[in-house]
Chain A
Amino acid sequence: MTTKTATRAGEPEVLELDRVTIRFAGDSGDGMQLTGSQFTRTAAVYGNDISTLPDYPAEIRAPAGSLPGVSGFQLSFSSSPIHTPGDQPDVLVAMNPAALKTNVGDLPAGAALIVNEDAFNAANLSKAGYATNPLTDGSLKSYTLFEIPISTLNARALEGLDMTSKQVDLTKNFFALGLMFWLYERSMEPTLRWIEDKFSKRPVIVEANRRALKAGYAFGETTEIFHTHYRVAPAKLAPGRYRNITGNEASALGFVAASKLAGRPLFYGSYPITPASDILHQLSGYKDFGVKTFQAEDEIAAIGAAIGASYGGALGLTATSGPGIALKSEAMGLAVMVELPLVVADVQRAGPSTGMPTKTEQADLLQVLFGRNGDSPMPVVAPATPADCFDVAIEAWRIALKYMTPVVYLSDAFLATGSEPWRIPNVADLPRIDVENATDRSTFHPYARDPQTLARPWAVPGTPGLEHRIGGLEKSDIGGNVSYDPDNHHRMTMLRAEKVAGIANDIPEAEPYGVERGELLIVGWGSTYGAIRSAVERLLAEGQSVAHVHLRHLNPLPRNLGDLLGRYRTVLVPEINLGQLLMVLRAKYLVDAIGYDKVRGKPFRISEIHERAEQILAGR
């Protein structure tokens, strides 16, 4: 949707756009993550709906100018609700040839391409593998190219400041940001305030960044190379108070909220690992909520300590990524055996092994469902969007505490680092979490069970008369003594399975979005929500017989799912893995579902899902 707005003579025209997607790309030392997040904050506070996708290398500083060193930040902002950070950028800001080379392929024809002309020298061109200069060899003619000597202009704006030329060069991202603020009619105020806060102890840096930002803005205003600037009106979001939030931030807040709701302190054991470390950083700042954080010596110690804390009556939490789950598996099995509440968060990244630590993937599902010795059932929940992480983190704890079980909370790199506006909930509206500890010595048995939930009692040390012993060895039903009795092992294995399966009666039914029955049902889980939902919205608008079911509970699955799957001619399961949920659905429901798998370390595009659905609907 574009609307032209009349402007006074001599001023650039203003175009009203519904949605814009921008990608900032540069060297990992160029500050692209900062630039992107500053634009995001500004757009969020302005009232746009937003969705972001940071994309950065795992190396802290890959060689300058090289292809592996390129860091990018894509954000989409809109005047109507959006679910994804955009398929393809409308604008690419490329700070050097390597950034251009690695990103230009994602640009649709006609997109705007803003490049830092100064960086296109022979050395950088060769590091990026360009034989000829793309700015002059005609290879970019399908885009609207803006060549701007950003480094030179920025250096001129900073003249007279007591800074080395290297320091000066480090501020050029603010020039680019200023230019984008002008182009999209954004106020510089939030960023100016941020600069002052952030560098308050270094007045020269404050001044340099201010000048860079303003110079970029002024450049847009005074030069005539841009004929148009753009306006994206605020979105009509549901009334309420909002903040922009990443998945990792929302997860940390959800865990703290669960601790408050349950009235039990949170203990967080963790070993640093990308992309989960931010949860540790964040939780370590919540000591006023009684949160105790423990940076363990390894992944196993992190979960061991969390189990110890849960045994003591706290909420024992640990978070990691796929490789860490592999290390924690034995201890996860112990938690299944001793039936203590525990949440294990897995912020998935591309695997196997070290894989691609900063890139997203959904390939740990089977690992967390089945990757333990013995029949070792664990509930698994997965948030769908960055903001959804808050609710699902609370849900993980609700299940863990009510059913006395370890629970896996399955996020991913895209959710963890991506962001969107979050409507801040009322604390009074959050779910209640009731927790009870066993105290009555006359009725206590370590493995007696609640007839409804099959949960065993939580008898914490310090309770007189309840001294008992638990552990990884099989225990007798009710009495809890070590038991090698064959029938007992069979019974206990069944009980553990039934307990987890029974949670299906305590979670919402799956609700299809779209037609109630018909041609195509697309089933997704986790961070693919946005792309699938957007594609289905589009298909429905085109009059197609299609629906979307998104699963937040992956074990157990919603009780009506089997019935739902049977109501559509075709079931399509798009996943960022090679068909893991697909395998579960086919096995459990004997449904001839088909998969759609991409493992590129990137989220699905809306168009990819849309196209695949169209093919299926057209009988191809």
Chain B
Amino acid sequence: MTDTIAAQTPRQPGQPLALTRKDFVSDQEVRWCPGCGDYSILAQTQKVMPDFGYPREKIVFISGIGCSGRLPYYMNTFGFHSIHGRAPTLATGLKAARPDLMVWVITGDGDALSIGGNHVLHAMRRNVDIKLIMFNNRIYGLTKGQASPTSEIGKRTKSTPEGTIDRPIMPLSVALAAEATFVARSVDTHTEHLQGTLERAGFHHGSAFVEVLQNCNIFNDGAYRDFTDREVRDDRMLVLEHGQPMIFGKERDKGIRLRGLHPEVVQLGHGVTEADLLVHDEGAEDPHLAFMLSRMWWPDYPVPVGVLRNVARPTHDELLTGQVEAVRAQRGEGDLAKLLDSGETWTVS
């Protein structure tokens, strides 16, 4: 009698299985609104999938409810379209039972930060080895246009005709506060950057939280246009690179400097040099720098994209399995007959 479920294949990054993007395309017709940012996220996800070295059957996509929740149907892997907000809980149980699998969680701003906020916090703090991709369109799309927890204050929607009075939360700040070991942001239309970010998330060992700024062209069109459009993005976004000074601008003539406890946008030249700028350190143990970056937003600052934080910590499944193994090493494999016949017993003849 064995209690192993399936042979465990250790993850072997860098050993592609000669799979291509097409291998990850399922036979289901994709049903998002034409022009929706979700198409790009799906395409980039499918594109990077062969890189991780997992065979298709060892990859699982788990989603909650919302437009993003449909993504697993389009991936030719194992998939579980669960209930609103709860995808991280299923992923936690699955990964605990099956450390051999690669588990992705697909969620949205409402799913992850409103109804499922608690689960995101706890999956991150436990460092459950899941790759959580949060599609942030700052609106409820599937229910046809109500305010979401990331909608900007004052936003008029179907549910807030006079404007929302609820302050939005910054997803990356939440992820950092929850002790996520990998925190990143990308944009649906910046396909190369998105691919690179998903790839890095996939290779991260532990909880990865990726916010993808996603355009809902039906209910919140142009939510990020002000800083993501091709013409302005270089001047209004800050592409983070580990170990590099924080420089941005079409002419790469602007940078971020620390003034007191605040970031400050400076123009290079006139006595300001690269040496004055903040240098990005995604591996910093304390999350202060990452937190500061997570609060920066247009128009006060360029919007940072890339990896804000990337630190190594043991994962939930490693620790859990480790405890089980340690107890087994100490006591041996449990003997049911002995367990039943334990405690204070007596015999009636």
Residues on A facing B (Cβ under 8 Å): 41, 44-45, 47, 190, 234, 237-244, 253, 256-257, 259-260, 263-265, 267, 269, 286-292, 294, 296-298, 300-314, 316, 330-331, 334, 338, 424-427, 460-473, 481-482
User: Contacts A286-B339, A469-B73: A294 and B57 contacting too (C-beta < 8 A)?
Assistant: no
Contact between chains at A257 and B336 (CB < 8 Å) = yes
Contact mask B96-112 → A, CB, 8 Å, 1/0?
11101100000000000
Nearest CB to that of B330 among chain A residues?
A: A288
Q: Are B83 and A334 in contact (CB under 8 A)?
A: yes
CB distance from A371 to the nearest CB of B (A): 16
Contact across chains for B347 and A242 when beta carbons are under 8 A apart: yes
User: Is A481's CB under 8 angstroms from B28's CB?
Assistant: yes
CB pairs A–B below 8 angstroms (11 shown): A242-B348, A243-B343, A292-B320, A308-B93, A309-B93, A311-B80, A311-B90, A468-B79, A469-B26, A469-B79, A473-B81
Which of B118-126, B141-149, B208-216 contacts the other chain?
A: B118-126
Minimum CB–CB distance from A357 to chain B (whole Å) comes to 22
Q: A286-B334, A287-B328, A301-B118 are in contact. Are A313 and B92 (CB under 8 A)?
A: no
Q: Which of A45, A238, A267, A298 contacts B97 (CB 8 A)?
A: A267
Known: A265-B97, A316-B93, A460-B98. 20 other contacts (CB 8 A): A41-B344, A253-B339, A256-B339, A287-B327, A290-B328, A292-B97, A300-B89, A304-B82, A306-B93, A308-B93, A309-B93, A338-B80, A461-B57, A461-B59, A461-B60, A462-B5, A462-B57, A465-B57, A469-B78, A471-B82
B5 with A313: CB separation less than 8 A = yes
Complex: chain A residue closest to B96, CB-CB: A292
B261 CB within 8 Å of chain A: no
Total contacting residues, chain B, CB less than 8 A: 67
Interface pair B83/A330, CB less than 8 Å apart: yes
Q: B91 within 8 Å of A by Cβ?
A: yes
Shortest C-beta distance, B299 to chain A (Å), equals 37
B2 within 8 A of A: yes
Name the residue in B28, B97, B332 with the highest tally of chain A Cβ atoms < 10 Å from its Cβ. B97
Query: 6 closest A-B pairs (Cβ-Cβ)?
Result: A304-B89, A471-B81, A308-B93, A305-B93, A289-B334, A308-B90
Contact A301:B92 (CB < 8 A) given known A287-B323, A312-B97: yes
A469 with B324: CB separation less than 8 A = no
Q: Is the CB of B77 within 8 A of A467?
A: yes
Q: Scoring B residues 129 to 167 as 1 if CB is less than 8 Å from chain A, else 0, what string do you get?
A: 000000000000000000000000000000000000000
Please pick, from A288, A302, A473, the residue contacting B333 in the complex, using a CB distance under 8 A.
A288
CB-based contact B78/A461 at 8 Å: yes
A581 to B293, CA, bound (A): 59
How distant is the Cα of A535 from the Cα of B143 in the complex, in angstroms?
58
The chain A residue sitting closest to B102, CB to CB, is A461
Nearest CB on B from A495, distance (A): 20
Q: Does B72 contact A (CB under 8 A)?
A: yes
The chain B residue with its CB closest to the CB of A459 is: B78
Give every chain B residue within 8 A of A260 (Cβ-Cβ).
Answer: 1, 334, 336
Q: Write the nearest CB–CB distance from A119 to chain B, whole angstroms.
A: 32
Shortest distance between the CB of B68 and any CB in chain A (Å):
13
* Contact flag A312-B79 (CB < 8 Å), given A260-B1, A297-B122, A301-B118: no
Are A460 and B119 in contact, with the CB atoms below 8 A?
no
- Whether B345 and A305, one on each chain, are in contact in the complex, defined by CB atoms closer than 8 angstroms, is no
Residue of A nearest to B26 (CB): A469
Asked if A309 contacts B344 (CB within 8 A), the reply is no
Question: By the criterion CB–CB under 8 Å, are B73 and A294 in contact?
Answer: no
Question: Is A427 in contact with B118, judged by CB distance below 8 angstroms?
Answer: no
User: With A and B bound together, what is the CA distance between A253 and B338 in angstroms?
Assistant: 11
Contacting pair B339 A289 (CB below 8 A): yes
Q: Which residue of B lies closest to A428 (CB)?
A: B337
Q: A288–B90 contact, CB under 8 A? A: no
The reply to whether B72 and A313 form a contact with Cβ atoms under 8 Å apart is no
Quick one: closest A residue to B317, CB to CB? A292
Minimal Cβ-Cβ distance residue in A for B92: A305
Minimum Cβ distance to chain A for residue B50 (Å): 15
Contact partner of B92 (CB less than 8 A), chosen from A239, A308, A425, A464, is A308
Tell me the bound Cα distance from A297 to B327 in angstroms.
25
Bound-state Cα–Cα, A265 to B8, Å: 15
In the complex, what distance in Å separates the CA atom of A472 from the CA atom of B72?
13
Query: Within 8 Å CB of A263, what residues of B?
Result: 1-3
* Contact (Cβ within 8 A) A472 B92: no
Contacts of B339 in A (CB 8 A): 253, 256, 286, 289
Which chain B residues border A240 with CB–CB below 8 Å?
347-348
Asked if A257 and B340 make an inter-chain contact with CB atoms under 8 angstroms apart, the answer reads yes
B residues within 8 A CB of A47? Answer: 346, 348
- Which residue from chain B places its CB closest to the CB of A340 in the assembled complex? B80
A292 in contact with B324 (CB, 8 Å)? yes
State whether A461 and B58 are in contact (beta carbons under 8 Å apart), knowing that A290-B334, A308-B89 are contacts in the complex.
yes
Is B341 an interface position by the 8 A CB rule? yes
B78 touches A297 (CB 8 A): no
* A256 pairs with B336, CB closer than 8 A: yes
Could you tell me if A472 and B348 are in contact, using CB atoms closer than 8 angstroms?
no
Question: Is B36 on the interface with A (CB-CB < 8 A)?
Answer: no
| Interfacial chain B residues near A294, Cβ < 8 Å | 92-93, 96, 320
What are the interface flags for B59-96 relative to A under an 8 Å C-beta threshold, 1 for contact and 0 otherwise? 11011000000001100111111110010111111111
Between A47, A313, A461, the greatest number of chain B beta carbons within 10 A of the residue's beta carbon is seen for A461
Please give, as numbers and ranges, the residues of chain B lying within 8 Å of A257 by CB-CB distance. Answer: 336, 340
Interface flag for B6 (CB, 8 Å): yes
Given the known inter-chain contacts A244-B344, A465-B57, please indicate yes or no for A304 contacting B72, CB distance below 8 A: no
Of listed A244, A287, A298, A424, residue having the most chain B CB within 10 A: A287
Whether A190 pairs with B1 at a CB distance below 8 angstroms is no
- The answer, yes or no, to whether B56 is at the interface (CB within 8 Å) is yes
Q: Do B323 and A305 touch (CB < 8 A)?
A: no
B171 CB to nearest A CB, Å? 18
A225 to chain B, nearest CB (A): 32
Complex alpha-carbon distance, A425 and B321, angstroms: 30
CA distance A308 to B337 in the complex (A): 29
Do residues A312 and B5 form an inter-chain contact, with CB atoms below 8 A?
yes
CA of A154 to CA of B262, assembled, Å: 68
- Per the bound structure, the CA–CA distance linking A267 and B341 in Å amounts to 23
Is B12 interfacial (CB 8 A cutoff)? no
A406 to B: closest C-beta gap in Å: 14
Contact code string B215-238 (vs A, CB < 8 Å = 1, else 0): 000000000000000000000000
- For B58, the chain A residues whose CB sits under 8 A away are 461-462
Q: How far is the CB of A593 from chain B (nearest CB, A)?
A: 37
For B72, list chain A residues within 8 Å (CB): 469, 471
Residue ID in chain B nearest A269 by CB atoms: B93
Interface residue from A291, A301, A465 paired with B89 (Cβ < 8 Å): A301
A129: shortest Cβ distance to chain B, in Å? 40
Which residues from chain A contact B57 at a C-beta distance below 8 Å?
Answer: 461-467
Q: A464, B324: Cβ atoms under 8 Å?
A: no
B69 to chain A, nearest CB (A): 8
Question: Quick one: which of B1-39 are within 8 Å of A by CB?
Answer: 1-3, 5-7, 26, 28
Contact A482:B73 (CB < 8 A) given known A47-B348, A462-B6, A462-B98: yes
Q: Determine the distance from Cα of A330 to Cα of B84 in the docked complex, in whole angstroms.
A: 9
Q: How far is the CB of B20 from chain A (nearest CB, A)?
A: 16
B residues near A467, Cβ cutoff 8 Å: 56-57, 76-79
Please judge, given known A-B contacts A297-B118, A312-B101, A462-B57, whether A253 and B340 are in contact too, CB under 8 Å.
yes
Chain B residues with Cβ under 8 A from A424's Cβ?
340-341, 345
Task: Please name all residues of chain A whose beta carbon is closer than 8 Å to the beta carbon of B118 when the two chains form the complex.
Answer: 297-298, 301
Candidates A297, A302, A460; contact of B121 at CB < 8 Å: A297
Give the contacts of B273-319 with A (CB-CB under 8 A): none
Query: With a CB–CB cut-off of 8 A, which chain A residues contact B327?
Result: 287-288
Q: How far is the CB of A410 from chain B (nearest CB, A)?
A: 23
Give every chain B residue within 8 A of A330 (Cβ-Cβ): 83
Closest chain-A Cβ to B127's Cβ sits at a distance in Å of 14
User: Measured between alpha carbons, how far is A426 from B1 in the docked complex, in Å?
Assistant: 17
**Closest CB-CB distance, A544 to chain B, in whole Å?**
32
Contacts of A269 in B (CB 8 A): 93
A331 touches B73 (CB 8 A): no
CB distance from B46 to the nearest CB of A (A): 14
